Structure formats: C-alpha cells, structure tokens
Amino acid sequence: MRQSPPPRTYRVKSFGCQMNVYDGERMAELLAERGLSAAPEGEDADLVVLNTCHIREKAAEKVYSDIGRLRREDGSSPLIAVAGCVAQAEGDEIMSRAPAVSMVVGPQAYHRLPGMLEKATKGERATDTDMPADAKFSALPARRKAGPTAFLTVQEGCDKFCTYCVVPYTRGAEISRPCSDLVTEAQRLVEAGAREITLLGQNVNAWTGDDDKGRAIGLDGLIKKLAKLPDLQRIRYTTSHPNDMTDGLIAAHGEVDKLMPYLHLPVQSGSDRVLKAMNRSHTADSYLRLLERVRAARPDIALSGDFIVGFPGETDAEFEETLSLVDAVGYAAAFSFKYSPRPGTPAATMDDQIALAVMDERLQRLQAALNRDQLAFNKASVGKVCKVLVERRGKYPGQWLGKSPWLQSVHFEGEAAIGDIVTVELAEAGPNSLSGRLLAPTIA
C-alpha cells in the first residue's frame, strides 16, 4: 500500500437507514475535529468514507462498484474507508478484493477512525469491526452543528432476530445509551439550531434507562424529559417494534404536545403463518388492536409501516391477507420491499423461495394500495390549519418546504426562514406533498 500525504478534505457518503445518516454525521464531526474539511460539491475529496447498508439488495456489489468509480483519471484513488453494515459483515472480503480500500470500520468502531487514518497515511491497511458499542459515544466529539431537524441515536442493535434480517448480526445486541448523555446531546443539538429531534434506534421503543433519581424509565420517560428543553419544539422516534409499544409510550402520544402525531410501526405481513415464520412474535390481529389503542390515545395520528412481499413460502392467499391488513389500517405512509435473502439469516436457506416475477407483481399491487391510502390521507388533511417546520427553500423564488406534524412535505410561499415554525392552511394535496397557505408568521 502506498503512503499518502495526510488528507485535507473528506466526503462521507451514507446509504440506507437514518441511523447511518447519524453515524455519517458523527464520522464527519470526528474528521472535522482532526482539521479536515468537507470537500466542496463536485470536487474530489482526499478521503472518502463509504458508509454502507446491508439490509437488502446486492449491497456488497454496490460497494465494489462505488470503489471502482472513485478511481481518478490518472489511475490514482483517494484514501477510502468502508464503514457501515457491509463493512461489519464482509470486512475481510473487502480488504482482499479491493486493494484501493485502506480502512474497513464497523458501525460500533468508527470512533477509532482517526487512528486508522493515521496508519493509512503511512501505507498501513486496517480493519476494525469490534463490538459492542460501549466506548463509541463517549469517544465522539460534542455536537456543534445541526439543521432544524436532527437525528439522535438513543439505542442500537437488535435482539429480535426476525428470520429475514441481518441487523442483529451487523449491529449487534440491543444497547441503550444513558439518559443523561442523551439529554446533554439533545441540549447541544438545540443550541446548534435543531428545532426537531428524531430519536433513532433499530428498536427505539426498547430503549431503557435511569432517570436522575436512579429510577428505571422507558422511551416515554426519555421523551418527557426531552420535552422540557424549552427550545426543542418537536420530538419524533423511529423505528419501533410492535412488542415494545408500552402503555406508557402509547399514552405519551396523548400527553406530550411536542411528540408529533406520527408512528412508524413495521408489520411486514398480514398473514399469521408468515409472521410466525418471520419470528415476528405478533399476529395481524394483535397489531391491529395495538393500533386501535394508539389511535384512542391520539386520534389524528399518522401511521406508517414496513412490508416485505415474497417471504419464502408466501402464498397468494397469504399475500391477500397483507392487502386486507393495509385496507384495515389506512396508512399515511409506508415502505415496502421485495424479500431479499441475506447471507447468514435463517430465511435465506428456507424452502420455497419466491420467484422474482411473483414478487414484482405482489409489490406492484401492494404499492398501489399504499399509494392510494397515502393520497387519501393527504386529501383528508386539506383544510386543516397546522404548524409547519421550515426545512429549506423550495424550487421557486419565495417558496419554502417544510413538514407538517404528520410528516407530510408542505410547500408554501411567503415570508419565512429555515427553522421557523409557521402556521399554514393545507390547501391542495398530491401523493407526496401538499401545498399550503401561510396564515401567520413565525412563532418561535
């Protein structure tokens, strides 16, 4: 491996989930603390971090093609670090197949990136995929920068072992970050300009901690603590597991004004046989009853979910049960995927893998139903007066884009600035956004 001068600029490219976005931001902060600056748009960076995702598709193959594309015209490459879940799952293979990569760092080890970088400039290649995460967060620099909406990882890992999912292997066992650290980090984010914080975790509602008197609290307790930060206006959380929706968390949706009326609660399938084979430990009916309780606590809540079509052995009739569940819920938003065998997971070696053409057809039908419901939800919002948190400028002069409490994208025209919370009347609805009429200027 060649030696290289210490890099001056970096680029972090994050793929996949919001937790990767959070990790990508933290890696950028680590590099900035070491004196590197972000490479300007369109310019080559001296160091590129590919922060990868392994949840679906041919993620590993994508990493190799991304590495290939980093090669410059003169044949040289920047320093390359592969981070994220592909690094965790396939680190050794990346090192042997891709000589241009000098660092492989897993999601629980990226706080050691600066040390690895030092070695890499001397021409040494290094892999660090150690778990668990205990040391990581305390080794990261304090938060200094934030847009109006910020992510805060409160929990990592997963002990649920759904049979299709790679997360328990790449992200490790469930760990919760301590409450006091989270309040401190949230406070910093707010001081840096965040008006909304989304609490993140693979199983965010499994978060547990102790309050300052040493009493055990759950995610609802954490949300109530964060709601006391005066300049924090909105709190969200994702992603939750149905089995960890406690009474307290459900009640919090009716009690805490700053907790936004939106719940992402993956169901994956509407068939009890498939759910059992997925090791989901809930049924279609128990899920629907849970949603009834959530709606009783917060009647206007927007519900969202994740779905997998074509899990091994899924019959036409079982897929129809998923469509019936969708009809019963009326989702405001949803994410749906074709089943993708993940190496090392139990489902990857199950009999009756479903043909791609069948999965394609099922996905199309499911997405048509979900899109129909999303549009219906947006149309039903027309006429409502709500607060919109302004996130950025729109395409046209004088236009702004922001989010409603129900996480809908809303565009409107008038006097505003990024970070404002404005009052808007929702005027017209499309499948992916609404237009609004500005009623009152900034409240905060």
- 361: exposed, middle or buried (C-beta count within 10 Å: 0-12, 13-18, 19+)? middle
Decide if residue 56 touches ligand SF4 (CB under 6 A): no
CB of 137 to ligand SF4, least distance (A): 20
CA angle 136, 137, 138 (to 5 degrees): 95
Kindly state the tokens that stand for 181.
Answer: 């650290």
| Binding-site partner at residue 151 among ligand 5AD, ligand SF4, none, CB < 5 to 8 Å by type | none
| Best CA proximity match to 102, nearest among 130, 75, 74, 121 | 121
Checking DSSP bridges between strand 234-238 and strand 208-210, what pairing results, if any? unpaired
| Binding-site partner at residue 342 among ligand SF4, ligand 5AD, none, CB < 5 to 8 Å by type | ligand 5AD
Kindly state the tokens that stand for 343.
Answer: 């190496």
d(CA 444, CA 423): 11
Give the binding site for ligand 5AD (CB under 6 A). 55-56, 164-165, 266, 268, 306, 308, 337, 339-340, 342
CB of 339 to ligand SF4, least distance (A): 12
d(CA 354, CA 313): 7
Core vs surface per residue 130-167: b (16+ CB within 10 A) or e: ebebeebbeebeebeebebbbbbbbbbbbebebbbbbb
Residue closer to ligand SF4, measured from CB, 204 or 424: 204
Q: Which residues pair with 263 in a beta bridge?
A: 303
| Binding-site partner at residue 337 among ligand 5AD, ligand SF4, none, CB < 5 to 8 Å by type | ligand 5AD
| Binding-site partner at residue 161 among ligand 5AD, ligand SF4, none, CB < 5 to 8 Å by type | ligand SF4
Decide if residue 167 touches ligand SF4 (CB under 6 A): yes
| Binding-site partner at residue 339 among ligand SF4, ligand 5AD, none, CB < 5 to 8 Å by type | ligand 5AD
Piece in contact with ligand SF4 (CB under 6 A), picked from 11-19, 156-164, 313-321, 346-354 = 156-164
| Binding-site partner at residue 77 among ligand 5AD, ligand SF4, none, CB < 5 to 8 Å by type | none
CA angle 107, 151, 295 (to 5 degrees): 115
Helix (H) or strand (E) holding 102: strand 101-105
| Residue found under tokens 């997963």 | 158
Decide if residue 241 touches ligand SF4 (CB under 6 A): yes
Decide if residue 165 touches ligand SF4 (CB under 6 A): yes
CB of 145 to ligand SF4, least distance (A): 29
CB of 309 to ligand 5AD, least distance (A): 9
Residue closer to ligand 5AD, measured from CB, 339 or 406: 339
**Count of residues in contact with ligand SF4, rule CB under 6 A:** 10
| Best CA proximity match to 273, nearest among 318, 309, 241 | 318
Binding-site member from 127, 198, 202, 238 for ligand SF4 (CB under 6 A) = 202
Q: Which residues contact ligand SF4 by CB under 6 A?
A: 158, 160-162, 165, 167-168, 202-203, 241
